A and B are shown apart, each in its own frame.
Chain A
Amino acid sequence: MSKSKQLIIIDEELCTGCGRCKDVCPVDAISGIHGEPHKIDSSRCIFCGQCVQTCSAYSSILDEPETPRADKLRERGMFQSTTEPLFAAYCAGDVFEISDALKSDKFTMVQCAPAVRVSIGEDFGMKAGSLTPGKMAAALRRLGFNKVYDTNFAADLTIMEEGNELLSRVKNNGTLPMFTSCCPAWVRYMELNYPDLLPHLSSCKSPQQMSGALFKTYGADINGKQRTEIYSVAVMPCTCKKFESARPEMSMEGHRDVDAVLTTRELAYMIREAGIDFESLPDEDFDKPLGTYSGAGNIFGVTGGVMEAALRTAYELVSGEPVPETDLIFVRGEEGFRIASMTMGEQTFKIAVVAGLTNVAPLLEKVRAGNAEVDFVEVMCCPSGCISGGGQPKVLLPTERDEVYRCRKESMYSHDKNSKIRKSHENPDVQKAYTEFLGEPLGHTSHKLLHTVFGKQDA
């Protein structure tokens, strides 16, 4: 998507002006008079898509539409075969562009975020939270992707980089607390509203961007391709990932790390359009090495997950011993703001987990005043983390939403529990990537490919 294109849109013909989107928007980007079509101010919008998940004003077959459904589908970037109802608030899609790339002679690589495998089955009539990594990999192969990799690999890599970054900040009196930078909606929020606190953000690119950067370097080498031959696609639970991938700093020598992003919903459209019967697909593996992952990488998709994954590795880095208990229950939970501490060897780290951006401002004010008293903070824009992202299958009734999110979350944790490797630093292909290509965490190559400088955004 190009930056000038509006990403999150309210269809004026369908909006009834109920204002429920306005209530759910964490940054007051939506305005409108009750009963009249509402508008999104894209200079404030952080593209989280929570308004898209909430809106229930739909185009009814009983009303004569001003614009025919076929035109609306085209405008929204949806296939004509799509049967789902159209709601007023939506995210502009990219399926046409990606279908074209799959038909071209580009070498296509795709990555899937952790939260996609616990929800995509829902759009094919499966139970809430159905865990389908194998079917998803199979479907992507049937769609024609040359390599089916996994964002989880880069999530493990993020832990290596971010964990070491935290320790180096602690050791060298760097800026603390350090905030996670994997949620692009959170990063944009910070850039727009707290630019003075940007040094507190980790310099790590998000796992999506780390994957993309590796695809076009390490991945290109492995597959005997040039950077220019590769088209890199990400499947994400998040609408803001489309924005993130288009940021100018997320590219090398004029080539974007990630060329296009599909939301979970859009991947489901593509699977249907291709006539693939998702439920009957066999379970297939992700391609190696950029598709190998640990349980820690997988739990990035839930609130507290990044923190838990980081602590599993940090504990060992600091104390030299494996963490006594892999399940760090104290960082899990539902509350929008949670605080805890963990002792590693001689040191005690104070951590905080924020889920839902409306909960972050009080902490940021404290940081500004210099009395936050935490070392490391995970922030996710969406209320339950990525499993509740704006690009996820849209749960039709809010009365069912909590239960569906609970099921998705349970699947995430059971996927972690059943993984043979549960700590990022034990991922053998991550270790290999460091010896063969990256050198060491925070080293020269990782610095160039996996880190960035976040800046003040023009709207």
Chain B
Amino acid sequence: MRYDSITEAIGNTPLVRIDPAVHGLRNIDLYAKLEMLNPFGSVKDRPAWHMARPHLEGAAEGGGTVVELSSGNTAKALALLAGLHGLRFKSVTNRMRVPEIKELLLLLGAEIEELPGRSECLDPTDTDDPLTHFHQALTEPGSTYLHTDQYFNPRNVEAHAEGTGPEIVKDLDGRAPDWFVACVGTAGSSTGVARVLREHDPEVRVLGLVAHKSDFIPGIRTIDEVHQVGLFDPATYDTVESVTSGEAIDGMLTLIRRCGLLTGPTGGAAYQGAVRHLRDADAALEGSGRRESAVFIVCDRAESYLSYVRDRRPELLGRASRGPTLATLTDDEVRAGGRSAAVNEARHWITEGDPRPLVVDLRSPHAYAALHIEGSVNIVDELFEELVRGGLPFSKRTPVLLACPVGERSLRYAALLTRRGHPDVRSLAGGIVAWRDAGAPLVRE
């Protein structure tokens, strides 16, 4: 495979059969369309390229900025495509809820504008709607914005009607599957693919999956949100069902651990939603001698969603701890093993002690720079925790005074270091706050 441009690698993704031993359907063959194998990593590579192509080719000399309301994969693909053509890309969104995606977009050189949250004091006459501003800016005379408009642009649907749909039919030896399952985001893939499949076989049943209303699955809209999508037409779907983030992660785990498919939560939701829905249909086929087939789309890959998984299933990403750590220290152990020094005692110790203690300020560098005890060193608590994980960072001959804002965390560290064998670690009682309130001197740098 030799290409002149990465854009030629968009499309022609594999259709992989899921082992029946995994999904348990006896009469339905289930296939995954691996859109995650597109070069920029997702199903959105197709519409992004198809929508942007006319703009990019025309605008190459003129400069300008491609803009899209996107918080994820479309933004990613458009940012790369814009860069490839010497243009800038700006994403406008209020849904940038996955930190890795945001950071990835910044790495790709995208600009991100985050829309304000909802108003707390309702003003029914409010015309200061940020989306309205966005659309006004696009239409200003002399504007160099190229708006791909994925929620309303028919080329979004076309990309799938010309690519994804026909590829599925071809890989199924010229037949449409009996079922097509798609998560609904912009409704582009579901609408485009469903159109092609129905042209082949009007009996194809289309299942649209949306996120449970109070839940969040990246890339999928909730039932209310789909109504705001210009491309969404209820007639496309025989059924619309909702899935939860829990189901999405369950599906993701099954596909990753048992099928070798490195899918993200949207693919997981499609799989789990498909199996849940097809179970009844499968039972109805039992004994009829007929076999049916179903296709779902794996939209993108797992790597960008680690924090999403960490938030919802921390145990999946947990690390086992070794030896006594701050977290394993009980309150009783802290009380028994932590020595503290009151402000006056600490002041005396610092000026008259022999040897004088090393004063360690555990607050952040910015707070430390603003005001601190003269002569203290700053080791932020997070870093300090890493340091003491491996052992003692000070000589046992050096006494240590630990200081944090109110003397609570520093007491825990004092107890921990004492358990690790340091003979003289004390925590500043009441912390820097007590030090300040006692009128003891603080310096700034």
Do the two shown chains form a genuine complex with each other?
no
- Residue positions of A touching B, CB distance < 8 A: none
